[in-house]
Structure 1
């Protein structure tokens, strides 16, 4: 009789549209419960995975969440992002990691994974300590058992993602397992330039873009491949850009309207999808990247479906994609966790 493989059971908090979940699922994890409050993310998740709990996590009791072997959480990053106001823990969303701790304390899974923006590393807790130190201490001392916690600032392009996207990852392994997590080795950056990912076949869905404003469209006509707003003649700049150009030192020489070249790795995709905030402009065509092109930059497979039947849905898909964890980065971490924690357990019941 063939042995039945029992995959590690995973609970996913702040799941978004499912980038992290897909990376773990393809590594052999079984997602048994997922949650996200954002309706656009929920809609995409349901299309590709099925059921997701759409309640605010504050309204979810620990007893309603099933026992699991691993818990992942991409709690809201905007409070810690350099693109936002950087209110950190003083923003109500910045304390949502405490909700993760509440659930972890009840479930005590073998492994926990947190993902967030690099700004979290410089965020202070309400008592003046570094937030990262507070998170590590909270996890290390939990339930008199605790977790061995390692965290690292990683670049998604080191793990097969065609995007220079820096994120902080925390991996905690329950201390009674006697394991300290080792982050996977960096991979060679082969085939990650835009020219390798923009060759999308006809028939693949979601090849639609969000039209640029007339002002933005006029500006990008003057920006060459590999250039930025600094290439736009002064007389064609909007008044606010002329103000910045007049005093570049004061504004720290911002690199707005970056048009990455085909032989470059793309920059970070953001939820706003605005040329001022990310390299969303196509290398050779005067438009934003399409939804599918952004999905490829975030390493979602072409059969992962997004919703583009209305103008509102199109802009919403840029948001959920910008907030997503790149699939291949998630998969690299998932494979390392499986190898280090669950190796040899495929035919055993977990927990």
Structure 2
């Protein structure tokens, strides 16, 4: 039997820079939609889709364009026997939300393109979805399917929350696979019938960004205006020579508006009078740092007057190649139907002609892009989840019988002997299954779907840097790993653990060696007397699972907190 391909659909995909991370992880693109043909052609250069009909140009709100996408999906269903795509990615236009846009006016209808993404997600029902946009995305008002204006986060929850576990976070991509500082909203959904996976499992992994010295320090210095290195995409973009004095004496982190010599402050001359330019954001004509990660890459990265575009040493804006490295775009990514290797063999005049025609489009695409490394990490996590072995009830029963998991000590021995043989989630499932049968209780397995539905409802406690949590009926500890995920940004998380069943506490202590405790977190195993004696201790959250209907002394004590 032929293995089914990993698949995805991409909406508002621009040049496909972010999606290239899915391609690098072996995913096949069913269909990609972009309204601008000059962006979409770059996706063709990188062989994004298997079929030419998968490249869909046009406005996705138009019935005929949407039908093209649905027809392509049907082709894949028939050809490859898939029931639904694995992933749907949507990065709708953000002009009405971005702080970089000073001319927002009424962008409600544009922001409602998000609703088109929601509609298609509902209709297509992918296993996973990924929405990405600017920081203000989640709180921005859109006109929902019901015609009522509401925040985008609410619209996503109302329309998709019944079928998907959804995680929304505002993050700086420099901590998740990019080498450029860029604060964005990331929304990840996991269909609820996928019991072994939560949105936390799909979220991109944290990584430390490289400094510019580490990232681009090996590239040739460019000191002559118009100079092109051996790499056509590492070139000195020309600008008006009168601006050179404005930036040539700047130190790292300095803006031309800080020049002491007034003749070096950005200006224009009108009827013989000097008119000084205005600095709205305080980062125009500004030289960046060698020993920091790259700045946020904006759409107008081609001009000195945009935000933090000046090279740390050279008197120029960053080259295309430098920007690509900041956005973790592999050198294998192509910008033309002519391979980069062939472009580099052109004469200088031919190279200049190519750049004159294509450079601005390339730079604008870079400014719109999701860093490849971020989506590559998400794709890797989804691929792992799809390929991960999911234990059925029959598997759990077989394992229980094979290892004779019919008493507390045998369960503990199993845990200690199989630390490296099973994923943590599967160990928890096996342990919970065996223990529940041993206790002669209902076999209600705590799947990740169940855990996430609880953890997601806990308060964010945004104003608190340090929090204390009590879990007075911990059982075997199934909720703990995701609790750590939920509060990973806190300075300190103290988790007090208690269970009135001594056997479950023994099993939990054995499992504790498998649970990775973050640096910001501490676990205290407490007894009932400790809780009773220290009534001055207060908790921000009490996560009481109520494993049985029996009222215990602990239940009474909880009212004290």
Q: Shorter chain as normaliser: what TM range?
A: 0.7 to 0.9
Residues 255 and 8 of structure 1, relative CA distance in 2, 3 Å threshold: same
1:70 deviates by 1.0
Aligned mate of 2:299, from 262, 271, 276: 271
Q: When the two structures are superposed, what TM-score results if normalisation uses the length of structure 1? A: 0.84
> Quick one: distance in 2 between partners of 1:262 and 1:151?
33
1:349 aligned residue = none
Residues 1:56 and 2:59 are matched in the alignment: yes
Larger radius of gyration: 2
1:204 aligned residue = 231
> Quick one: distance in 1 between partners of 2:190 and 2:386?
8
1:19 deviates by 1.7
2:155 aligned residue = 134
1:333 aligned residue = 378
2:241 aligned residue = 214
Aligned residue pairs total 331
Residues 135 and 172 of structure 1, relative CA distance in 2, 3 Å threshold: same
> Quick one: distance in 2 between partners of 1:99 and 1:281?
38
1:332 deviates by 1.5
Provide Cα deviations, 1:21-61, integer angstroms capped at 9, x if missing partner. Answer: 11112223222211111222112211112542222212323
> Quick one: distance in 2 between partners of 1:342 and 1:14?
28
1:150 deviates by 0.6
1:306 deviates by 2.0
2:250 aligned residue = 223
2:348 aligned residue = none
Residues 1:36 and 2:34 are matched in the alignment: yes
The answer on whether the counterparts of 1:295 and 1:321 sit within 8 Å (CA) in structure 2 is yes
2:527 aligned residue = none
Provide Cα deviations, 1:189-208, integer angstroms capped at 9, x if missing partner. Answer: 4xx11112222476434223
Residues 327 and 193 of structure 1, relative CA distance in 2, 3 Å threshold: same
What SS class does the counterpart of residue 289 from structure 1 fall into?
A: coil
Unaligned runs of 5+ residues in structure 2 are 74-83, 221-228, 269-274, 337-350, 391-561
Greater length-normalized contact order (CA 8 Å, ≥ 6 residues apart): 1
Residues 313 and 209 of structure 1, relative CA distance in 2, 3 Å threshold: farther
Unaligned runs of 5+ residues in structure 1 are 246-250, 346-351
> Quick one: distance in 2 between partners of 1:116 and 1:333?
15
1:267 deviates by 0.9
Q: How does 1:1-351 map to 2 (within 5 A)?
A: 5-50=3-48, 51=52, 52-59=55-62, 60-62=65-67, 63-66=70-73, 67-85=84-102, 87=104, 90-125=107-142, 129-141=150-162, 146-178=163-195, 179-182=197-200, 183-189=203-209, 192-198=210-216, 199-200=218-219, 203-233=230-260, 234-239=262-267, 242=276, 244=278, 254-273=282-301, 274-307=303-336, 309-344=354-389
Provide Cα deviations, 1:253-294, integer angstroms capped at 9, x if missing partner. Answer: 722222112212111001111333322211111111111111
Q: When the two structures are superposed, what TM-score results if normalisation uses the length of structure 2? A: 0.54
Q: CA RMSD in A?
A: 2.6
> Quick one: distance in 2 between partners of 1:65 and 1:13?
14
The answer on whether the counterparts of 1:122 and 1:130 sit within 8 Å (CA) in structure 2 is yes
> Quick one: distance in 2 between partners of 1:118 and 1:129?
17
1:74 deviates by 1.0
| More displaced stretch, 219-228 vs 266-275 | 219-228
1:95 deviates by 1.4
The answer on whether the counterparts of 2:256 and 2:264 sit within 8 Å (CA) in structure 1 is no
The answer on whether the counterparts of 1:40 and 1:317 sit within 8 Å (CA) in structure 2 is no
> Quick one: distance in 1 between partners of 2:103 and 2:139?
10
What SS class does the counterpart of residue 14 from structure 2 fall into?
A: coil
The answer on whether the counterparts of 1:259 and 1:279 sit within 8 Å (CA) in structure 2 is yes
The answer on whether the counterparts of 2:30 and 2:72 sit within 8 Å (CA) in structure 1 is no
Residues 121 and 108 of structure 1, relative CA distance in 2, 3 Å threshold: closer
Residues 139 and 213 of structure 1, relative CA distance in 2, 3 Å threshold: farther
